[in-house]
Amino acid sequence: MTIPVLIILLGFLIFLGHYLAQLFERTRIPDVLGLLLVGVLLGPMLHLLNPADFGQAGRVFSNVVLVFILFESGLEVRFEQLRAALRGTLTLTTLNFIVTTALIAGLAQLFTPLDVLSSFILGSILGGTSSAVVTTLARQAAVEERTTTTLVMESALSDVYTLAIPIALISFYTGSALTARTIFDHILASPVVAVIAGVGGGYLWSVLLNRIPTLHKTSFSTPAFVFILYGLVELLEFSGPIAVLFFSITLGNVALLRPKPLPHYFAPRQVELTAAEKVFFAEIVFLLRTFFFVYVGASIVFDNINLLLLGVGFTVLLFLVRIPVVWLSADATTPVLDKSVMSILIPKGLGAAVLATLPLQRGMATGAAIQTIVFAVIMATTVLCTILFFLLEKGWLLPFYRLFFKAPPVTDAAQSSSLLP
C-alpha cells in the first residue's frame, strides 16, 4: 500500500469511526464490531493492511493507546464514588474476575497447548468488561439507577484486576527462574512499586502545577509527564500501566491526600479537565481506539481456525457462568430484568485488546495463541452481547432468565402503593 493510499484510508477510517459511533447511539450495535470487521476486511481478507509492516511502530502505538485510556479514565475516578458503589460492585467485580480467570485457564489447559502460567494470563486478560459498550448499553436499558451504577463501576473497577494481574504475570513469565525472590519481585513488588511511583508522581506533578501555572495552560504538559513517568517505570522493569493508572487517580483526588503539616509552597493543585480539554482528549481517545480496533481486526490470524472456534466456545461459557455470578452477588431486591441485564453485559473491549498484544511483544512463545484467542473472544462477546440485549429488550429472553432469578420480595410499602389509584 502506497503512502497516499494509506493517508486516504486513514481519512476514511475517521469518518467511518464517527458514523459507527452515531450508529451505536441509534441502534445499540457497538462500533467496536464494525471497526473489527473493517480490520478483518483490510487485513486477512483483502491483504491491504499488514500489521507486520508497522514493526516497532505497532508496539509503540499499542502502548500509547493504553497510556491515554488509563490517563483519561483515571482522572474521572473519585474516592467518594468508589465508596458509594463499592458495596454493590466489589463482590460482583471480584467474583466475576475470579470465576472468569479460573474457567478460561482451566479450559485453556484442556483444549490448547498453553502452559499453566500462559493459561492464567489468558484468563486474567478476559476477566473484565468493556467500559465503552457497558456504559452505553446500561444507560439505555430500563433498569434501576443503582444497577446502572453497579455495571458502570464494575467495568471501571475491573481494570484494576485486568491490568495489574496480567501485567504482573507477563513480567514474571518473561523474567528469571521461579524462586521465592522472583515471585516477590514480579507478582508483589512490581505492582506495589508502580503504585507508589504513580501516587508519588501524581502528587509531585500537582505541586508543580500549583507552583508553575503556565504548565496548566498547555493541554499536553500533563500527558507529556505521563509518558515520561511510564517510560521511567518501564525502564526500571516495573509496571508502567499501573503507575499511569494511579497517577491519574491521584491527580483527580489530590485534594484529599494533602498532608496538613506541609506549607503552602508544597500544596498540590486539584487537576480537573475543563469542558474543552475533555472534548479534546475524548477526540484523541476516539481516534486512537478507532485505528487500534481496525489494527486488531487486521491482526487476527485465520490460519488457526481451532483457536478462533475455541474463542467462540469460551464466549458462550462466559455468558452461562455469568448467571450464577450475578445470582450470588446481586441484592435480593434487584428486579429480574436488572439481573438479566447484568448477566449479558460482559463484552470485552479495548483493555483486553491492548493487553492481548503484550505477550507477543514481550517475546512469549505462547503470545500469538493468546492474542488470537483474545481477539476472537472480543468479537464474539460483542456480537453475542448485542444480540442478547436486543432479545432482552423485546422481552423474548426474559422468561429464560426467570428460570434462574426469582422476583424480589414485595414490601408492605410497595404493595400499598401499588393499590393506589
With H, G, I as helix, E, B as strand and everything else as coil, classify residue 30. coil
Q: State percent of the chain over pLDDT 90.
A: 18
Mean pLDDT of the 412-420 span = 36
The mean per-residue pLDDT over the stretch 241-260 comes to 73
Residue 419 maps to a domain: no
Higher pLDDT, 393 or 371: 371
Residue 344 is assigned to a structural domain of this protein: yes
What whole-number distance in Å separates Cα of residue 236 and Cα of residue 31?
37
In this predicted structure, which of 185-189, 238-242, 244-248 has the lowest mean pLDDT? 185-189
Name the domain count of the chain: 1
Name which residue leads in pLDDT, 143 or 189.
Answer: 143
pLDDT band at 315 (very low <50, low <70, confident <90, very high): very high
Q: Which residue has the higher pLDDT, 203 or 310?
A: 310
Residue entry with cell 506541609 = 262
Closest CA to 68 of 237, 292, 275: 292
Average pLDDT over residues 32-49: 83
For the range 299-306, what are the long-range contacts, defined as Cβ-Cβ under 8 Å and sequence gap of 24 or more? Answer: 299/39, 299/43, 299/51, 299/357, 299/371, 299/375, 300/36, 300/39, 300/40, 300/43, 300/44, 300/372, 300/375, 300/376, 300/379, 301/44, 301/368, 301/372, 302/44, 304/369, 304/372
Look at residue 76 and tell me whether its pLDDT is greater than 70: no
- State the residue range of the domain holding 370: 6-403
**Band of pLDDT at residue 167, cut at 50, 70 and 90:** confident
* pLDDT score, position 322: 95
**Is residue 275 very low, low, confident or very high in pLDDT (cuts 50, 70, 90)?**
low
- Is residue 325's pLDDT more than 90? yes
**The domain spanning residue 37 has which CATH number?**
1.20.1530.20
Question: Residue 353: its pLDDT value, please?
Answer: 81
Per-residue pLDDT, 418 = 34
What pLDDT, on the 0 to 100 scale, is given for residue 309? 92
How far apart CA 79 and CA 83 sit, in angstroms, is 6
> Does residue 352 surpass a pLDDT of 90?
no
Whether residue 184 is contained in a domain is answered as yes
Q: What is the mean pLDDT of the chain?
A: 79
1: in domain: no
pLDDT in the model for residue 175: 67
pLDDT tens digits, residue range 84-118?
A: 556 668 889 889 999 999 999 999 999 998 999 99
Using CA atoms, how far apart are residues 70 and 120, in angstroms rounded to an integer? 23
